[in-house]
Amino acid sequence: MAMDSSAKVIDGKAVAKQIRDEITAEVSRIREATGVIPGLAVILVGDRKDSATYVRNKKKACESVGINSLEANLPEDSTEEEVLNYISGYNDDPSVHGILVQLPLPSHMNEQNILNAVRIEKDVDGFHPLNIGRLAMRGRDPLFVPCTPKGCIELLHRYNISIKGKRAVVIGRSNIVGMPAALLLQREDATVSIVHSRTSNPEEIIRQADIIISAVGKANMVRGSWIKPGAVIIDVGINPVDDPNSPRGYKLVGDVCYEEAIKVASAVTPVPGGVGPMTIAMLLQNTLISAKRVHNFE
């Protein structure tokens, strides 16, 4: 591939819209056949602006596809027990098919205890250790796959980018994105390496990749010179950087230097408008899957 030709832009917004349209059709099909409306409950603790924005977006997205959304807003100084009580109520409520605890939680709470309290059948975030364990095992299937990594793989599928036999590098090893993304790539028969903060010579490893999924949260860390010509880049990072020309005083960029990457890669996701819209689309899809599973609806 010639170095001066520019990469195909992977349009996450357009793909997410397509998926939401598919979900809308399925939601009305299950409602007409069984009277069931899929329901998602979101628990938000505290008043972090970014978390509140995410929750608002999730609510809007639910409404747009016909999914019922419930919301519990708890003050920052709530006890862990109060959060667990809400989870327990939603666990027992048959009209709720998915429960999502918005992270991060306030520092006085034990995140593990709280996430483990969500019934695995309603764990639409895919963070329950049993779901992750099944994801890691050959021949087992998790009930739900975590939304962001699932969205990354879905983008590759919908752009007909083959994964089988390819060398894939995942940058970052978080429980939410990096680690499950590596497991998903492995399930698709890629040969996977994970690069993290303790990796020596990360650029050497990254340069061998046919597919890069970056989820490290460092603005423009991956330079054009680190990318193998023709590689495919899925950039999960959303990092604010100062920009005096922007009305907000900052702009959002990914982990990968987009201006450089687009000259070398064969396909790349923009930030914003790449992986972000896919995460919410996958959450809606998981909620629909959950409702269908409970009611044995094909």
Residues annotated catalytic, as ranges: 58, 102, 125
- Look-up: residue for tokens 């591939």? 1
* Residues written for the chain: 298
Task: Report the 10 Å Cβ neighbour count for 77.
Answer: 10
What's the alpha-carbon Rg for the chain, to the nearest Å? 20
d(CA 235, CA 228): 15
Backbone angles phi, psi at 146, to 5 degrees: -50, 140
d(CA 51, CA 28): 29
**Which amino acid type is present at position 78?**
S
d(CA 220, CA 257): 4
